[in-house]
Amino acid sequence: MKKISAVDLKVGQTFERTIFIDEDSVFIPENTAVLQKDLDLLSSLGIDELFIADEPAKTAAAKAASLKKKKIISNFPQLKLADPKVSTFVNKLIDQINTIFDAIKTKNPVNIRLLWNTTNLLIELVKTSRDDVLKLILCENAKAGFEMAKNSIDTAIFSVIMGIELGYSNTENQELAVAALLHDAGMLRLPEAIIKKEGGLSDKELAIVQSHVLHSFNIMKKELMYPVNVCQIALEHHEHWDGNGYPRGLSGNDIDRRSLILAISDAFVAMMSKKAYRNMMTGYQAMKTLLSENGLYFSPEILKLFVRIIGIYPIGSGVLLSDNSIARIANVNAESPLRPVIQVIVDENGDAVEDGGKIDLFTNKKLFITCAIDIKRFQA
């Protein structure tokens, strides 16, 4: 392979040969147009040199398509990546926060003790079972229905993980978790016709949707009696690093730091959720999207922390390897986010692998990731 300069890449450009980030990590498959998000990812990772293959190779997209012709789908192991006890516990939290949302929506008294119980149990779960919780969020289907409650729990989990990494006190993490659980509570007070509308929103409708942060603030402050500093975390989670967010157009470090954490968690969970106008993203697709918006919507410092914790290929997510086998991400390599530790679950022949050993792609250069795969698709 020969080296090429990353700065020479242009949006829309295509190559007849595969482009690699390093000698083993596919970046842009052959005959695939370069996107602005690809260039932004290179910039965020500080990469200024790329490699181009000596000759054309089978593209990752073609390899992924060829999986349908194999016996993989019928033989694909029904993975239970997370501890079943963790799944049961998270479903309990979803039930609890859904009960709280029902009370908010109907303007009935909220059980504050239940809310604090949910908050404290969630923090303890993150401390004791972080990896299992991440696998559950990224690769398994938790409790069906209650999408808003599930998204709030997931957002709180990601937020608390970052809070713990930053050394927040238990009180600070409790406040962050409460704000994350209730950040979209204001949506429950908006007209359902607007919330469920599948087409584009008018300027008036968009303004109504954006007002949900003010409703959330008022619910937390006036109805649940939380201190202003806690309510502010929810109020500012749609403020953007570049000042183009809402409701007040704050920028940079004028935004509450815990709101910056919540903003990234909320965006990642939203991208991982199915919408009326698009399918859910894989963890890899969502992470690439976040990185492309670095310095615009999100704090570069907090986003860097999020990537270090979750990985470019998040723990538990699926990938297709260069030998056409399928693996899940077992651990993140903080120093080399594109070469994580993997565990093969389907070999190159399409046969399920039971209890496959872990392979560190940072030290094993014979294998590399060609594309991300939605494991849930094969388990359907």
> 3-state class of 201 per DSSP?
coil
CB atoms within 10 A of CB 80: 12
Domain ranges in the chain are 1-57, 67-79+316-380, 84-310
Over residues 134-156, mean pLDDT: 81
The CATH topology of domain 84-310 is Hypothetical protein af1432 (1.10.3210)
Give 183-197 as a DSSP string: TTGGGGGS-HHHHT-
Going by pLDDT thresholds of 50, 70 and 90, the confidence category of residue 5 is confident
- Phi and psi torsions of 49, nearest 5°: -130, 135
Q: Which residue has the tokens 């670095």?
A: 294
- Phi and psi torsions of 189, nearest 5°: -105, 5
Residue 375, both tokens: 């494991």
**Nearest of 350, 372, 353, 328 to residue 74 by alpha carbon:** 350
Going by pLDDT thresholds of 50, 70 and 90, the confidence category of residue 278 is very low
% the chain with pLDDT above 70: 84
Tell me the CA distances in angstroms from 69 to 66, 292, 345, 376, one per residue in order: 5, 34, 18, 18
- Phi and psi torsions of 365, nearest 5°: -90, 0
Start-end of H helices in the chain: 36-45, 60-66, 72-75, 84-105, 112-139, 147-165, 170-182, 192-195, 203-210, 212-218, 228-235, 257-271, 283-292, 300-310, 375-379
Over residues 170-177, mean pLDDT: 97
- Burial of 104 per CB tally in 10 Å (0-12, 13-18, 19+): buried
- Burial of 90 per CB tally in 10 Å (0-12, 13-18, 19+): buried
Fold: same for 1-57 and 84-310? no
Q: Is the pLDDT of residue 325 over 90?
A: no
Taking a C-beta distance cutoff of 8 angstroms, is the pair 327, 342 a contact? Answer: yes
C-alpha span between 40 and 15 (Å, rounded):
19
Q: Which residue has the tokens 């509308």?
A: 197
Q: Is the pLDDT of residue 66 over 80?
A: no
C-alpha span between 195 and 209 (Å, rounded):
7
Instruction: Just give the CATH number of 1-57.
Output: 3.90.105
Which pLDDT score, from 0 to 100, does residue 83 have?
77
What average pLDDT does the chain have? Answer: 84
pLDDT in tens, 332-379: 887 777 789 998 888 887 777 877 788 999 888 788 888 787 766 655
β-strand pairing of 49-52 with 2-5: antiparallel
C-alpha span between 365 and 302 (Å, rounded):
31
Q: Which residues of 301-317 are buried (b: 16+ CB within 10 A; e: fewer)?
A: ebbebbbebbbbbbbbb
pLDDT in tens, 13-52: 888 777 877 655 567 777 778 888 778 777 766 777 787 8
pTM over 0.75: yes
> 3-state class of 220 per DSSP?
helix
Q: Which residues of 131-146 are buried (b: 16+ CB within 10 A; e: fewer)?
A: bbbbbbbbbbebbeeb
**Nearest of 315, 308, 306, 311 to residue 338 by alpha carbon:** 311
Which pLDDT score, from 0 to 100, does residue 135 have?
80
**pLDDT winner (highest mean) among 55-64, 71-80, 126-135, 333-342:** 126-135
Maximum separation of any 2 CA atoms in the chain, in Å: 67
Which pLDDT score, from 0 to 100, does residue 64 have?
52
C-alpha span between 193 and 368 (Å, rounded):
47
CA angle 122, 124, 126 (to 5 degrees): 70
